[in-house]
């Protein structure tokens, strides 16, 4: 019987570890897309630096805005002179009325359709003179990839939950029915009539806590030794625990009076 | 120890094994004998609490059977052996014990010796005879010192010589107050009290 519990714990450990790897892979890919999106700033061009400064004050608190860089016309003139070695023509360049630009570095994680629409509405309604330069196609591509990734993640989770429930319930029922003969003999030999129920809950405790403890331990171990660059929400472990607990309760209900 | 009053088994409107009053004292060995279909096995099962189609009351140590929820008050040795065939004799004997103390060990070795099974303690039960199976069950029951040991059809398992050994094993329990109630088809020697089933009714001899 000890072997059967060990086997059940081992199988559930493998499923839980697989589930965690799946979750980490999702986080990794999602982070990758977000970083890619964050690296592409929205560039606003305006003939008036003051207008950009006013806009900056207005959108600075947006969750999707990571940080803003405003480059005024004088800074741009200096950059041009420096970049193209135009020191002799500096007076001439100074006479041109160069535009100011604002680079909005977005936080890819939060820059969704709503935030994008809000930001563009503010600019187009309040500052119609500002020219927006942003790679919309890239944004749409990233959103599509994110959506596909999320759907795959969702279906993967549903599959893993169903798989975990089926496997753990099946194994539990199989081993419990296999031990029926042992318990029948035990009962008839004068053994404690409540021991089987007690053992069931003792084993359930091990089945619930050992795989989750190992998974949490492995996660924090990898984090501590810096082998894992991605973070994981601790609530995810709680979710896994709940589903293992659910399998234990379902098995108990199915077994009913047989134990 | 055991008190049965106004007892009768009722099956398909048939009423048999009528016991007006039966009292078994502590440490006594009782034999109930009677013909086939007299209801001996059903009486044993009723005392153990596994058979409910009866009238009357059964009390063990002044308490109804429903009182004993954690552990059965009596151990029934039926015709069918309740053993784990692929396990050793020792494992089968110590199966119901929550903890095997050194006192248990020395007692068990004594009892195995009486049964002639000492050298077979590590042998698988499946390799032993039917009579030895019953000896193992008897040792297992005696070591637990229950209120009652019930043996159904004792004459099926043991010849005269083995019966004496079996009762010697039971003495370990009966000396501490356990009562032994056995059934058989014919009268056997070496018991303290005899009850006969005749005309569907049990009478004390």
ipTM confidence: 0.88
Count CB neighbours of B62 within 10 A: 8
C-alpha–C-alpha distance, residues B82 and B50, integer Å: 15
Closest-CA residue of chain A to B69: A193
In this prediction, residue A60 has a pLDDT band, given cuts at 50, 70 and 90, of confident
- The CB-based long-range contact list for A6-11 (8 Å cut-off, 24+ gap) reads A7/A171, A7/A175, A8/A168, A8/A171, A8/A172, A8/A175, A8/A203, A8/A207, A9/A206, A9/A207, A9/A210, A9/A211, A11/A167, A11/A168, A11/A171
Q: What's the average model confidence in pLDDT over A63-88?
A: 74
C-alpha–C-alpha distance, residues B174 and B189, integer Å: 17
- The nearest CA of chain B is from the CA of A205 a distance in Å of 21
The DSSP H or E segment spanning A59 is helix A49-59
For CA atoms B113, B114, B117, B122, the dihedral sign is negative
Residues A151-167 pLDDT 10s: 999 999 999 999 999 99
Nearest to A188 among B71, B82, B144 (CB): B82
Task: State both tokens at B192.
Answer: 């303290």
Task: State both tokens at A202.
Answer: 């003792």
Partner-chain contact A186 B95, CB within 8 Å: yes
Q: What's the average model confidence in pLDDT over B160-180?
A: 91
C-alpha–C-alpha distance, residues B138 and A223, integer Å: 60
Domain A41-134 CATH assignment equals 3.30.70:
yes
Q: What's the average model confidence in pLDDT over B175-185?
A: 92
Integer angstrom CA distances of residue A73 from A52, A231, B22, B27, B171: 12, 42, 115, 112, 111
- Contacts of residue A63, Cβ cutoff 8 Å, sequence gap at least 6: A107, A110, A115
C-alpha–C-alpha distance, residues A242 and A234, integer Å: 13
Are the C-beta atoms of residues B19 and B56 closer than 8 Å to each other?
A: yes
Nearest to B70 among A188, A189, A192 (CB): A192
The reported pTM is 0.80
Give pLDDT, residue A211.
Answer: 96
Give pLDDT, residue A53.
Answer: 85
Candidates B96, B139, B151, partner chain A, best to mutate (most A CBs within 10 A): B96
Is the pLDDT assigned to residue A193 strictly greater than 70? yes
Collect all residues of chain A within an 8 Å Cβ-Cβ radius of residue B45: none
Count CB neighbours of A2 within 10 A: 7
Residues B55-107 pLDDT 10s: 999 999 888 887 876 667 789 999 888 999 999 999 999 999 989 999 999 99
Is the pLDDT assigned to residue A80 strictly greater than 80? no
Partner-chain contact B75 A184, CB within 8 Å: no
Domain boundaries for CATH 3.30.70 within chain A: 41-134
Is the pLDDT assigned to residue A77 strictly greater than 70? no
| Burial profile A121-160: b = 16 or more Cβ within 10 angstroms, e = fewer | eebeeebeebeeebeeeebeebbeebeebeeebeeebeeb
Are the C-beta atoms of residues A51 and A58 closer than 8 Å to each other?
A: no
Candidates A186, A187, A190, A194, partner chain B, best to mutate (most B CBs within 10 A): A190
Collect all residues of chain B within an 8 Å Cβ-Cβ radius of residue A185: 82-84, 92, 95
In this prediction, residue A91 has a pLDDT band, given cuts at 50, 70 and 90, of low
In this prediction, residue A120 has a pLDDT band, given cuts at 50, 70 and 90, of confident
Report the candidate in A61, A32, A53, A45 with the shortest Cα–Cα distance to residue A119.
A61
What percentage of chain A carries pLDDT values higher than 90?
51
Count CB neighbours of B83 within 10 A: 23
């Amino acid at each position: 019987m000890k072997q059967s519990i060990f086997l059940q714990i081992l199988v559930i450990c493998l499923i839980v570890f697989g589930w965690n790897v799946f979750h980490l892979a999702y986080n990794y890919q999602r982070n990758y897309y977000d970083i890619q999106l964050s690296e592409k700033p929205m560039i606003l061009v305006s003939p008036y630096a003051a207008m950009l400064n006013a806009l900056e004050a207005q959108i600075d608190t947006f969750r999707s805005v990571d940080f803003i860089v405003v480059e005024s016309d004088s800074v741009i003139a200096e950059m041009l002179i420096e970049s193209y070695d135009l020191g002799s023509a500096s007076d001439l360049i100074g006479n041109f009325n160069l535009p100011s630009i604002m680079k909005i570095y977005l936080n890819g994680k939060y820059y969704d359709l709503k935030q994008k629409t809000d930001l563009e509405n503010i600019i187009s309604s309040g500052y119609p003179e500002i020219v927006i330069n942003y790679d919309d196609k890239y944004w749409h591509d990233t959103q599509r990839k994110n959506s596909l990734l999320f759907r795959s993640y969702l279906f993967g989770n549903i599959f893993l939950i169903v798989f975990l429930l089926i496997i753990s319930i099946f194994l539990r029922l199989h081993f419990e029915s296999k031990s029926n003969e042992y318990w029948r003999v035990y009962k008839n030999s004068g053994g404690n009539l409540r021991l089987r129920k007690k053992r069931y809950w003792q084993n359930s405790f091990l089945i619930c806590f050992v795989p989750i403890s190992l998974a949490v331990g492995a996660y924090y171990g990898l984090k501590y030794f810096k082998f894992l660059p991605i973070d994981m929400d601790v609530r995810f472990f709680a979710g896994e625990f709940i589903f293992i607990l659910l399998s234990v309760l379902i098995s108990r209900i199915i077994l009913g009076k047989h134990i | 120890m055991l008190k049965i009053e106004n007892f009768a088994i009722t099956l398909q409107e048939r009423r048999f094994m009528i016991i007006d009053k039966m009292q078994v004292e502590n440490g006594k060995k009782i034999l109930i004998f009677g013909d086939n279909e007299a209801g001996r096995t059903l009486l044993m099962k009723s005392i153990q609490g596994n058979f409910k189609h009866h009238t009357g009351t059964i009390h063990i140590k002044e308490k109804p059977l429903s009182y004993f929820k954690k552990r059965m008050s009596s151990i029934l040795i039926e015709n069918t052996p309740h053993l784990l065939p692929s396990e050793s004799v020792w494992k089968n004997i110590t199966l119901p014990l929550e903890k095997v103390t050194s006192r248990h060990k020395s007692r068990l070795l004594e009892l195995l010796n009486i049964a002639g099974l000492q050298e077979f303690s590590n042998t698988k039960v499946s390799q032993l005879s039917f009579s030895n199976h019953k000896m193992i069950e008897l040792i297992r029951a005696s070591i637990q010192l229950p209120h009652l040991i019930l043996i159904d059809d004792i004459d099926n398992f043991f010849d005269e010589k083995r019966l004496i050994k079996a009762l010697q094993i039971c003495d370990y329990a009966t000396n501490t107050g356990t009562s032994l109630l056995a059934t058989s088809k014919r009268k056997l020697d070496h018991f303290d009290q005899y009850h006969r089933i005749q005309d569907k009714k049990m009478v004390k001899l």
